[in-house]
Each structure stands twice: as structure tokens, then as C-alpha cells.
Structure 1
Amino acid sequence: MKRTITTVLAALAAGTLVAGCGGGGPSAGGGKISDNKIVLGVLTDLSGVYADLAGPHSVDAVKMAVDDFKKKYGGKAVTKDIEVVQADHQNKPEVANTQAREMYERKGADALFDVPTSSAALAVQTVAGQEKKLYFNTGAATTELAGKTCNPYTYEWAYDAYMLAHGTGTKVTEQGGKRWYTIYPDYAFGQDMQAKFESAIKAAGGTVVGKDPTPFPSDNFSTFLLKAKGMKPAPDVLGALQAGGDLANVVKQYQQFKLKDQGIKLAIGLLFDTDIKAIGADKLAGTMFTTAWFWGLDAQARGWADRFKARTGVRPTFVQAADYSAASHYLEAVQKAGTDKSEAVSKQLNGQHFSDFFARDATIRAEDHRVVHDAYLAQVKDPKKATEDGDYTQLVETIPADRAFDKPSADCHMS
């Protein structure tokens, strides 16, 4: 029977329907489940600078996806035995490499999720290719994952540096911020962000008058902020391309050194609600940023976020929302394929067009495994306009999927 539009919308608002995945039973693909069990691994930052935006609550998001999958299919599920395991990569690529191998080989993980920190994500991608097991990146922004290092086992689900730069970098430059001084963390994420922001700024008619890598992680950015303050003429914009705890330190010190009083605006490359809470919405009010999703986007997003908050006590970040979305689509693809064999699951995913509570007008590109979807240019709300605790973000404009992400890279060869 065909569902009515009302039923479909209700399911989407609840966060339980994965559009376009179908509802095949255990025998749909004529395959089987290895060890009669599906294992989902969440490899994340459980205690460092990215623990709030991903971390333990990313594990909760994947567990929610498992619970909803079991409720949806009951006895018709491809297997009743689905386990979620977790590990801390400590934001170190060598640790991520070891933990990914441990999860695939010893814990039997069929797919890994999350992995904030681009250097760690690149390490996990290499292991996924060697093990021929799936990896769904939601936490790292480097475009290399769907570019020169791409492989058939890695999916880019949430965002990347191109999306961030061509939203914020373009808009701030068009609004008069022509001369930029950028600081970026000295590892894969920051290096890619710097390159993508500089490209977007130049395309919009601006210029980067200075750029410096900063230690990662760090709690002291005074050298770089004083350099910006002493530049003659002063830059129009300080582009802070850090994330998580490092970003909070940059913003606090930007205010401490009173760069705004010198006419140096602050532009932020990547911002999460957890950052806004840590820094203070009053201190960031009016700041523009680009995001893959935010919980107050609309009723559909809020419906899932309400369920997440009821479970965890906090509102989700877009990384955590993406973890749920990716895990749900993975499980649906396994259900349809009737097997957890990576190649069979990928066949179900590749080329799929869908919209769920997280990704709107989304397509899983077969060419590079990038999930292309709408993105959002947003602004930090004046706290006086907030309707509840944690209501930090207001939509400025929607960036359509076909403009939000770059075209497939010529460097990506799926072989």
C-alpha cells in the first residue's frame, strides 16, 4: 500500500523514515549476514576538543538509529543482533589507524562512523580500503576524502571545507570584507580550509593579505591576534578556521585583544551549537557561518532533535544528526541487499536520491561517494530573540545542493 503524504511526513518528522531505501526483507538480496550480527563502530573524540560536537553523543545517535531500525522491521529485520561499539581516536592519526583496525578485525565492525579530525579520518579511510569495510565520515571536513584519497569504501556524509568556504567566505567578502588575515590549525583540516577559503575569497573579489598555521590543539593564539592587530593597513576580516575548543579560545582572545574595536571583523569557518554555548551567544550574536544542518531548521529537524534531547539531555550538533542519518541509511541498505557485504551494500547506496530530517535534496554520488545536499548560511541569534535554551541559530538563506558542494574531483578514482 502506498503511504499517504501525511504518513510520510510524520515519519520523517520522527526521524525514522529513510526515504528511497526501500523495505526489502532479509532475503531481498539473497545474501547473508556475517556471523549473524551487524556491528557498527563509532570512532570519535571521547575526551578532547571535539568531544562535545561529536563524542559520546555521536554514539547515542548511532544507537538511536539501531533502535529505530529494529522498531521499524521487528521480526522482518535482516538480523536482530545489531551491536554498537565505540573507541577514542584522541585526535591522533596513528591512534585512529590502530583503533580502526581493531574495530574492523577484532570487534567485527561492518562499518565505522563519525571520526572528527581530518588527519584521523584520512588514516581511517586507508584502513577501510585495506579491510574492504565501509566507513561513513561525518566529522571531518577535508575534501581529500572524496578527492585524491577516495576509495570505494568511504562515504562523505555531512560537509566539507568547500561547502564551508563557499558559503561564509563568499558572503562575508561580498558584504565588504575584502582583506582577510586567516589563521588555521596546522593539520589536514586547517590546511584544506585555508586553501578553500582563499579560493572562495578571491572569486568573490577579496584577497588574503596574511595567513598563518597555528598549533593543534592550542589554548594560546595571542601571537597571531597581535600580528593581525599590528598589520598596516589592518585587515577587514580575521578568518578563524579552527573548530571546537580551539575556536572558543580564538574567539575569547579576539575579544580580549579588542580587534573588533579596530574594525577587524571576525569570520568563523566552522561553528557548532556547542561552540556557541561555550563562548556565549551574546558574544557571537550576528556572526555568520555555514552549516550542514541545525536542530531548529524546521519542524522535521526539531522532531528528531526533540527525541535526541529526550534521550541525551542535550540538543544535537549536525555531526551527531549526520551519524544517525548515515547509520540509518546503512542499515536500510543492508536490509535491502540481504547481506552486510560491503560491495552489495554500496550498490544499494550509490546514486540514491533522498531527503530525510538531516539531508535535504540529497544524492549519494557514485563517482566519489560524496553526499550532496542543501546547506545553510546561518547567523548566531541575539539571545533576546531565543525562544528557549539552546536556540542559537537563525537561517539566512538555503544554499541549494547543486551549489553547496563542488563537482566530483578529477583526482578521485574509484578502483
Structure 2
Amino acid sequence: MRLTKLALALLLTIGGSGLAVAQNAGVKLGVLTDMTGPASTNTGLGSVTAAKMAVEDFGGSVLGKPIEVVQGDFLMKVDTGTLLARRWLDQDNVDAIVDVPSSPLALAIQDIVKQKKRIFLISGGTSSDLTGKACTPYTVHWHIDSYAMGNVVGQETVRRGGDKWFFLTTDTAFGHSLERDTASAVERAGGKVLGSIRFPINSQDFSSQLLRASSSGANVIALVSTSTDTSNALKQAQEFGLTAPGKNIRFVAPLGNIHDFRGAGLSGSKGIITVDGFYWDQNDQTRQWSKKFFDRMKVMPSAVHAATYSAVLHYLRAVKKAGTKDADAVIKVMKSTAVDDFFAPGGTVRSDGRLISNRLLLQVKSPQESKGDWDIYKIIREIPGNEIFRPLKDGGCPFVSN
């Protein structure tokens, strides 16, 4: 009995001292991203660079100690990502996990950060379930989500006459939620969904899917995909002549980004409607920050890169204001303090963790309209955050009182 009590006391002492060491160490951020796979151009090293830029602009230290940024590649595998996230939180004293351009992985990490009481800054994942039925008190969702994308692109396209839809959807949690949310918006606007087909992530051949969609009678083919899947599908659609004016088929990409459309080429992407939270050429502030990013990376930043910078900067400011790394104290400050940067000026973090800020309705330019290599978008309009995101009462976040 004495031995048991002694062992228990020793365990508590070690555990307590480990917690004290973690609290007394400097802030450590873990950028969990896709360094080598299909999302690497839109996230990857660019997300790591953006996080480091935020740390530098903040001053490099907080609470009297230097800020550290570590990085990890989850290889587009949920089990690899969850193992790395647990190691970071259990052994490496990481205080906040950043980016995670995979909704299935982000959903899995939700449970981990809830158990460990650490902050999760989602700048990559897009499922609206992250601040809905799967929300946690320690998560903030900085990037645009599937509800907002589907809501805006669906209604705008129907308004322009695209009322018969066929979905080509990546077979992931992200794809399922974005198809669901877009289809709902299309039907609310008076359109019809004629069918859908799903494909594995990182596909190379879209011929059968495109031919089935084009023969369905749809006048809209929605690419519920991202990264190389989107660019590959658009290239093949152009090869098959599906983007020609006489076909009367328009393509939409609710989750599009400049790297995808640049990769596919403007001749095959022109006219596509999409929505995002950032465009490098939006204003003087975005151009100034993007030039700094370009000088390091030799490419223009995606919205995920800009969101990563913004989320990290807001988090560090909250740590400083709270005077502690304690997750409960920090998240309280993050949710009670307005965002102050080029990405989300005046934005606020809602009680469910959803960043509410203005977003952009965009259309891909034609080659004739583009004035340079990275001149990709026309800004149709800026949409207020309270119009684009799902109402708090409809999200189903279990810890939020409506």
C-alpha cells in the first residue's frame, strides 16, 4: 500500500512538473500541412512561411520568451496527421496547431484538442461541421467554409441562369459537406440537382465523370474539389471541348484558388465563379503583404496562406493580452477582440469559433483580360460576413446556447 501511494505521488509530481514546464516554456506553434501532395501549392511550405511572417511581424517573442514554429507533413493521411498532432501536444509542448488542409483530419484533431485543451487555428480545412456539430471550445475556423462557399456560388450561379446542376465531388468529408451545402443553396434559389458522382482525391483521369456530367442535361458542372483535382478536371474539360461557348455548360468551383486556375490556364478556367477570403490584388494592404510573401516563395499567396498569417497573428496578440498561454484564457480573448489585419479587418470570432469577416465573390479572367502572370480574378463584389456564413442558431454547435 505504501509503495502504491509513493508511486502515485511520484506520478503526480512528474505530471505536475511537466505541466509547469510546458506553461513556462515559450509559445510553440505547429503547422500541420501538406508539404508534398496535391494541396502543397495552396498550403504546404507557404503556410509555414506565412506563420513565420506573422511571428516576425509580431516581434518574435511573447511573455518574455521566443516564439517557435515547427512544421509537419501529414502526407494526406488522417492517421499520420493524428499521430503527429498527439505527439506534438503530449511530448513536444505545442500550444496551437495551425492550417490542416484536410477536413477529415481537422475533424479528427477536434477531439484531440478538446481533450488536451490546446488551441486549433484552422486555416486550411473547410467543412462547415468544424464549427457546427463537431465544434469545440478551443477551435477557431479562419478559412472560408463549405456553407459559405455553397451559399454564395450556388445562389449567384442560379441567378445568372445556371439552374441545372451536376456535381463532380471529391470523396472526402470536405467534398461531402460542400456538395451538401451547395446543393441546398441551389435548391433554395430555385435550381435543380440532376446528379452527382464522386472520385478519389488526387485523381488523374476525369474523362468518364466529365462525359457523364455533360450528357446529364445539366447547364452547370460543379467541381467540388481543390488543388490538382480542380486543375486536372478543367484541363480535361477543355480537351473535350466542354468549355466551348456552344456547349452552353458553365463550370463552377466553389473552393477555387489562384494556384488551381493558374495551373489549369485561363483559357480553360475563364468565367468560373468562385468565392474566397483573400486575393492578393484586392487593395494596397494585400498587395504589400503579398509582395513580401512573393519575395520569399516566388509565388503569390493563396487565401490559406493569408488566413494562416492572420490566425497566428491574432492568436499571439491574444496570448500577450491574456498574459498566459492557458487555452481557456487565450480563446476568451480571441473571441472578444476584433481582428486587425489585411485579411479580416474588423472581423470577429463567434462563440462557435467561426471567424466572421467579409469575403470575395470572384470570377476568373479570360487570357485577354489578364494583364500578367498572377492577374487571375475579377472581384465581382465584397460580401459582408454576416450575410455569407451560416447563422449561429442553425449550426448545431453543442456547447453554444442559441
TM-score exceeds 0.5: yes
1:50 aligns with one of 39, 53, 64 = 39
User: In structure 1, what is the equivalent of residue 355 of structure 2?
Assistant: 371
Task: Write the distance in 2 (CA, Å) between the matches of 1:278 and 1:226.
Answer: 22
1:116 shift after superposition: 0.3
2:197 aligns with one of 202, 206, 212 = 212
User: In structure 2, what is the equivalent of residue 6 of structure 1?
Assistant: none
Q: Which has the higher contact order (CA 8 A, sep 6+)?
A: 1
User: In structure 2, what is the equivalent of residue 36 of structure 1?
Assistant: 25
Contact 2:131/2:395, CA 8 A, preserved across alignment: no
User: In structure 2, what is the equivalent of residue 283 of structure 1?
Assistant: 268
Q: Provide the secondary structure at the position in 1 that maps to 2:336.
A: coil
User: In structure 1, what is the equivalent of residue 13 of structure 2?
Assistant: none
Aligned pairs for 1:135-214 (under 5 A) are 135-214=120-199
1:32 shift after superposition: 10
Matched, 1:80 2:69: no
User: After the TM superposition, which of the residue ranges 88-97 and 144-153 deviates more from structure 2?
Assistant: 88-97
1:128 aligns with one of 113, 123, 137 = 113
User: What is the count of residue pairs matched by the alignment?
Assistant: 378
Deviation string for 1:89-115 (max 9, x for gaps)?
122211111111111122211001000
Q: Which runs of 5+ in 2 are unaligned?
A: 1-19
User: After the TM superposition, which of the residue ranges 142-151 and 251-260 deviates more from structure 2?
Assistant: 251-260
- What is the TM-score when the length of structure 1 is the normalising length? 0.88
Q: Provide the secondary structure at the position in 1 that maps to 2:178.
A: helix
Deviation string for 1:123-159 (max 9, x for gaps)?
1112111211110101111011101111111111121
Task: Write the distance in 2 (CA, Å) between the matches of 1:242 and 1:170.
Answer: 19
Task: Write the distance in 2 (CA, Å) between the matches of 1:360 and 1:338.
Answer: 24
Contact 1:128/1:153, CA 8 A, preserved across alignment: yes
Q: Which runs of 5+ in 1 are unaligned?
A: 1-30
1:249 shift after superposition: 1.3
1:252 aligns with one of 235, 240, 243 = 235
User: In structure 1, what is the equivalent of residue 219 of structure 2?
Assistant: 236
Task: Write the distance in 1 (CA, Å) between the matches of 2:164 and 2:228.
Answer: 26
Q: Provide the secondary structure at the position in 1 that maps to 2:378.
A: strand
Over the residues paired in the alignment, what is the CA RMSD in angstroms? Answer: 1.7
Contact 2:81/2:105, CA 8 A, preserved across alignment: yes
Matched, 1:340 2:325: yes
Letter in 2 for 1:374: N
Matched, 1:329 2:314: yes
Identity of aligned residues (%): 34
Task: Write the distance in 1 (CA, Å) between the matches of 2:372 and 2:208.
Answer: 38
Task: Write the distance in 2 (CA, Å) between the matches of 1:271 and 1:190.
Answer: 13
User: In structure 1, what is the equivalent of residue 383 of structure 2?
Assistant: 399
Task: Write the distance in 1 (CA, Å) between the matches of 2:207 and 2:369.
Answer: 33
- What is the TM-score when the length of structure 2 is the normalising length? 0.90
Aligned pairs for 1:66-77 (under 5 A) are 66-70=55-59, 77=62
1:410 shift after superposition: 4.7
Deviation string for 1:61-116 (max 9, x for gaps)?
00011111116xx7xx4133211001011222111111111111222110010000
